[in-house]
Amino acid sequence: MSSKASKDAARAARPGQAVRAPLWLLALITFSGTMAMHVFVPALPQAAAALEASPGAMQLTVSFYIFGLAFGQLVYGPVSDHFGRRPVLICGLGIYALAGFAALLAPNVHALIIARLLQALGGCSGLVLGRAMVRDGATPGEAAQRLALMNLMVVAGPGVAPLIGTALAETAGWRAILLALAGLGVCNLLLAWKLLPETGGGGAGQGTRAVLRNYVGLLGSRAFLGFTLGGGCASTAVYAYVAAAPFIFIDRLHRPGHEVGVYLALNFLGLWFGTLAASRLASRMGAPRLLLRGNLLSLIGALGFLAAVLTGVVDVKITLLTMALFSFGVGVAAPASLAEAMGVNPLVVGSASGLYGFGQMGIGGLSTSLAGIGGDPALAAALVLTAAGVIAQLSFRLALRGRR
């Protein structure tokens, strides 16, 4: 389908029905942005040796990516509310692809850091606009079902990416990872150009003043802020466990290093089952009950892990079981909280998606940092997850009360 055909189809569909973008393509675009965050981590030692860079400098290729991923979302949301989803997303994907090739050809670590920052600024367009395009024209129940997969891409990326990065680095070298990301960027750009319609019929096309006024309104909404804070604590707080997992399994439980990726992948199965449960239950239970009950399951899992750490009985089985329960709760609660946040003001879905995504990444980064405090990574991660569960419960309840 050509771009002109996509626009014609969108215009024709609007009078009678909502325009729907292919969910599989939105999921792929979203996954590309989050996967690139951690896929390069296993290759850092190789790249440091090849570029004659220090470990600290190489770490900046990851931290700058996270920085770009978080702050870029604040821009794409309101811009898409003004200009529309499709042109802004295609622009972002173009930046992602070009920056991917710049990273591939980077002659030194400084050029690589800049290229990775630009890659994140392009990749975050998929996070913001993928969610916005799912929400456009959907009822709250439909949105919760479709956003379940999108949220899975955001949270599961750090669990899957290291496995992919390790396989590529060991078989073809560290630049193979960057080549794969650049190729994925080109693929996404072409698919979006051919297949994605414009979905922002409700809010997109607003004047600049209206967009800014509604943007500020979101920041002053107790309901939106509650869903955003709660959603971040209920989802990306799991990054604390991801960051601490190597130290928990290798240093404390004395397991070989190659098992860590397998254990993380097993835990993320909980996300898949939680997401499946959310998609099946959204129309019957409604988003408010899903987000409260799903997060309660996560809190129970976090408390179980904390109790095991404090009593000294933590082992591989207990860690996997308690974190699987935590992850299952994430899969249930996170898409519901995202749907509620984006439904606060349907005229600025893009802005809401960007602010929500910024909050998610900010809380994920903070949780990762807090997990490194002290001499016991297992205890630090357990405390972070438990605190996040409590904060999420309180935030959701305040948000639901504020909305009423």
- For the CA atoms of 118, 124, 130, 133, the dihedral, rounded to the nearest 10 degrees, stands at -90
Q: Is residue 108 part of a domain?
A: yes
Cα–Cα dist 62/60, whole Å: 5
Residue 5 maps to a domain: no
- pLDDT at residue 151 in the model: 64
Is residue 10 assigned to a domain? no
What is the spatial distance between Cα 369 and Cα 350, in angstroms, rounded to a whole number? Answer: 29
Helix axes 349-370, 222-234, angle to 10 degrees: 40
Does any domain span residue 44?
yes
* pLDDT at residue 402, as a whole number: 75
Domain extent at residue 361: 16-403
Task: Give 10-residue mean pLDDT values along the chain (404 residues).
Answer: 44 49 86 84 85 84 85 88 89 96 95 95 91 76 70 66 84 94 96 88 61 82 94 90 84 83 79 84 84 96 97 94 94 89 83 88 85 87 96 95 74
Q: Write down the pLDDT at residue 383.
A: 97
pTM: 0.78
- Give the total number of structural domains in the chain: 1
| 306 in any annotated domain | yes
Spatial contact of 252 and 355, defined as CB atoms under 8 Å apart: no
Q: Is residue 42 left, alpha or beta, with left meaning phi > 0 and alpha meaning psi from -120 to 50?
A: alpha
Q: Is residue 369 part of a domain?
A: yes
Q: What are phi and psi of 118, to 5 degrees?
A: -65, -35
Query: First and final CA of the chain: distance in angstroms?
Result: 44
Nearest-angstrom CA–CA distance, 359 and 386: 19
- The rounded distance, in Å, linking the Cα atoms of 133 and 289 is 24
d(CA 249, CA 316): 7
Name the 3-class secondary structure at 314: coil
Cα 128 to Cα 278: distance, rounded to the nearest angstrom: 21
The CATH number given to whatever domain includes residue 121 is 1.20.1250.20
In a domain, residue 201? The reply is: yes
As given in the structure block, the two tokens for residue 387 are 């605190």
And the tokens for 361? 């990444």
Look at residue 195 and tell me if it is in a domain. Answer: yes
